Amino acid sequence: MKKNIILFLLLIGIFIVNCFYSIKAEAVYNSEGAVSYANAWALDRNPNYPSFSADCTNFVSQAMHEGGNLPFDKQNGWYCEKVLWWWNWGTAWSVANDLYKYLSNPSKGTVLGKWEPSQQSDINYNITRGDILFYDWNSDGTYDHAAIVVDYGRDAYRPDIIGDLQNQHTTDTYHAIWHLKPYNDRASSTTITAIRPK
């Protein structure tokens, strides 16, 4: 009987030690999952999340979380949760410039490049599916818009344009050219930065 009690207490002690010293598994960004989510919801709203009048960053964050499998990071403001009957979210989840700051941390993402208007050709060899694009409409250092790279091919709205394509919300688009020049009346002043989440 004493042996059974000692064995039982030893097992409980091992269990408690493992709880405190367990190795934390790091999430790895699933770019293809993020693209699938972005394609599914580019022209619609997921009813499991709030929708904003300026919904671009909320959409990109959803793609990174739901499809890309990145866990919420409440400590750093990248989360969205329903509390009883209202929504609570952090600014990194919903504001383009704050998401840029969040992802530009080397532990969260890799900055792939920054392109001035004259450097934005239809094909960008630095970006790939699942990368996040940040648009600074006035090149003033503050990012105003976010989108996600989803494919390479023909622009769905301008079939004469072939290149890297993105999806976005606010002005909802599905497979538009990544630099948005045909749709952006501020194209001559827009700087774009791309980040690959980790």
Q: What is the pTM of this model?
A: 0.86
- Reading the chain (198 residues) residue by residue, the pLDDT tens digits are 555 555 444 445 444 444 433 334 467 999 999 999 999 999 999 999 999 999 999 999 999 999 999 999 999 999 999 999 899 999 999 999 999 999 999 999 999 999 999 999 999 999 999 999 999 999 999 999 999 999 999 999 999 999 999 999 999 999 999 999 999 999 999 999 999 999
Q: What is the pLDDT of residue 20?
A: 39
36 in Cβ contact with 67 (< 8 Å): yes
Measured from the Cβ of residue 21, the count of other Cβ atoms closer than 10 Å reads 7
Measured from the Cβ of residue 6, the count of other Cβ atoms closer than 10 Å reads 10
Beta strands at 191-197 and 109-115: parallel, antiparallel or unpaired: antiparallel
Closest to 95 in 3D by CA, of 144, 133, 49: 144
